[in-house]
Chains A and B, each alone.
Chain A
Amino acid sequence: MPQLGADMSAGKLLGWRKHVGESIRRGDIIADVETDKADIEVEVFATGVIEKILVQPGERVPVGTVLAVIREEGKPAKPEAPVVPRIGAAEAAPPKPPPPAIPPRPAAPPGEAGRIHISPVARKLAADLGVDVTSLTGTGPGGRITLEDVQKAAEAKVARPAPGEELDKRARMRQAIAAAMARSKREIPHYYLSTAIDLSRVMTWLAQENLKRSVEDRLVYGVLLLKAVALALREVPELNAVWSGGKVVQSSDIHVGAAISLRGGGLVAPALHYTDRQSLDELMKNFRDLVMRARAGSLRSSELSDPTITVTSLGEQGVDAVFGIIYPPQVALVGFGKIVERPWSSDGQIVSRPVMTATLSGDHRVTDGHRGGLFLAAVDRRLQEPEKL
């Protein structure tokens, strides 16, 4: 069971996408796992053949538990190489013995080893109502199990709904966040910086650009902020790192984690991979997709384990500035507040400008205010040339 972020201690296996004997390639999605925050598509980090499956759908196991044994390509069948689908960059919990075996359940025939087609909402309802989704026949497109199918099944079996479970799930999400944030405050000596940035060039450029674009290709200003952060990190790469085993490990790749609030409460901050190398159009497309999937509760494991820094934007909630808590094992967090028209001094004149406060929370074990200040200055400078982002 991979650790997908510092706030994950256990996960429930929802289903296998591959079966024993099947060849798999690095990057394939092999299983679906439910965490306190979202349903995750688990990608595998080895190429080979699945030799043994050790955890069955429905089991909830601690992080570090071996889910399956993969015989890596070119290796003999004998010495078993247990491959955990990649532990996140965080210091992983030591592997724990798997829990006592669950009562045997009929194994799905190989042909059915694929994912059950069901929407996250329907899956959630099924869990809340105690409906076994494997027993359902979907009536949706392509045999997809719909909300209605779940409701009917629940009524049919006169299920006693368990209203406590929804609360329980929210409570678990809150606990997970609390654990990660408490650890951060305990271990990371934070320093905080803030600077006001004139966004008039960004907003003017964006309005003109969007005028030329069809609805589907329009950009939101948040994408320009993400790109500016990624480019500024090239100048101050110490902030693009993780703290691992008592020392800092700088990352050569820039994977900005975008904090996305979930409507039921809580948040996730999945990675936009190689943020600095994506064009604004690519970034926009991927960001939109990421927000949709985060809210639908369907993220990939690498998106949760790869972020090298987090960006949080609370401007839409009317917040002036956000001084965030660093998400371990990262060593920095960038915050953006709302854009407000403010008096601004320019060439000896007082003018009205759209201004936004950018903040940096930095880990003092890794950087100090001087480097942090250079970083915020670089973000500012990048935002003064939106056409180059």
Chain B
Amino acid sequence: MTQEEIRQTVLRTLGQIAPEADLSQLKPNLRIRDQLDIDSMDLLNFVIGLHKEFKLEIPEADYPKLATLDGCVEYLASHKTS
């Protein structure tokens, strides 16, 4: 999976959490939470979505690394086995 594919998958997962959001306006280096008005329940659903897409067990302690779109891509690229 290329970085671009990972990015698209992350965006698609986000789209399921916040269907009304305009993700084309999302700044990749800023906190997703502040840009999309998502709360801890949305965040959990987002992580569950990533867990399903990438078949990856994400410990709670790693949640801060998923704060931005760039952070997500970097984290998933380095942790994904296949």
Chains A and B belong together in one complex = yes
B44 near A220: Cβ-Cβ < 8 Å: yes
Could you say which residues of chain B place their CB within 8 Å of the CB of A296? 19
A220 near B40: Cβ-Cβ < 8 Å: yes
A 225-261 binary contact with B (CB < 8 Å = 1; else 0): 0000000000000000000000000000000000001
The residue on A at minimum CB distance from B58 is A215
B 34-57 binary contact with A (CB < 8 Å = 1; else 0): 000101111011011001000001
B60 near A216: Cβ-Cβ < 8 Å: no
**B-binding segment of A18-26, A275-283, A285-293:** A285-293
**B-binding segment of A81-89, A93-101, A206-214, A364-372:** A206-214
Assembly CA distance A121 to B58 (angstroms)? 30
8 Å CB contact of B59 from A119, A211, A263, A292: A211
Could you say which residues of chain B place their CB within 8 Å of the CB of A263? 18, 20-21, 37
Q: Does residue A222 face the partner (Cβ distance < 8 Å to B)?
A: yes
A215 near B51: Cβ-Cβ < 8 Å: yes
Could you say which residues of chain A place their CB within 8 Å of the CB of B41? 220, 222, 287-288, 291
Q: Does residue A111 face the partner (Cβ distance < 8 Å to B)?
A: no
Q: Does residue A218 face the partner (Cβ distance < 8 Å to B)?
A: yes
Nearest chain A CB to B29 CB, angstrom units? 22
A215 near B40: Cβ-Cβ < 8 Å: no
Assembly CA distance A215 to B54 (angstroms)? 12
B 1-39 binary contact with A (CB < 8 Å = 1; else 0): 000000000000000001111000000000000000101
The residue on B at minimum CB distance from A120 is B19
Could you say which residues of chain A place their CB within 8 Å of the CB of B37? 263
Assembly CA distance A263 to B45 (angstroms)? 16
Nearest chain B CB to A170 CB, angstrom units? 12
Q: Does residue A164 face the partner (Cβ distance < 8 Å to B)?
A: no
A316 near B60: Cβ-Cβ < 8 Å: no
Q: Does residue A74 face the partner (Cβ distance < 8 Å to B)?
A: no
B 51-77 binary contact with A (CB < 8 Å = 1; else 0): 100000111100000000000000000
Interface centre among A119, A261, A292, A296, by most B CB within 10 Å?
A292
8 Å CB contact of A210 from B42, B57, B60: B60
Could you say which residues of chain A place their CB within 8 Å of the CB of B20? 121, 263-264
A215 near B57: Cβ-Cβ < 8 Å: yes
Nearest chain A CB to B19 CB, angstrom units? 5
Residues of chain A from 325 to 380 with CB closer than 8 A to chain B in the complex: none
B19 near A218: Cβ-Cβ < 8 Å: no
Could you say which residues of chain A place their CB within 8 Å of the CB of B57? 214-215
Nearest chain B CB to A27 CB, angstrom units? 27
Nearest chain B CB to A84 CB, angstrom units? 33
The residue on A at minimum CB distance from B20 is A263
Assembly CA distance A233 to B47 (angstroms)? 33
The residue on B at minimum CB distance from A264 is B20
Could you say which residues of chain A place their CB within 8 Å of the CB of B59? 211
B40 near A316: Cβ-Cβ < 8 Å: yes
B60 near A288: Cβ-Cβ < 8 Å: no
- Selected A-B contacts with CB under 8 Å, 24 pairs: A210-B60, A211-B59, A214-B51, A214-B57, A215-B48, A215-B57, A215-B58, A216-B51, A220-B40, A220-B41, A222-B41, A261-B39, A263-B18, A263-B20, A263-B21, A263-B37, A264-B20, A287-B41, A288-B41, A288-B44, A288-B45, A292-B45, A296-B19, A316-B40
- New contact pairs (17) apart from A291-B42, A296-B19, CB-CB < 8 Å: A210-B60, A211-B59, A214-B57, A215-B47, A215-B48, A215-B51, A216-B48, A218-B44, A218-B60, A220-B41, A222-B40, A263-B18, A263-B21, A263-B37, A288-B44, A288-B45, A316-B40
B residues apposed to A, CB below 8 Å? 18-21, 37, 39-42, 44-45, 47-48, 51, 57-60
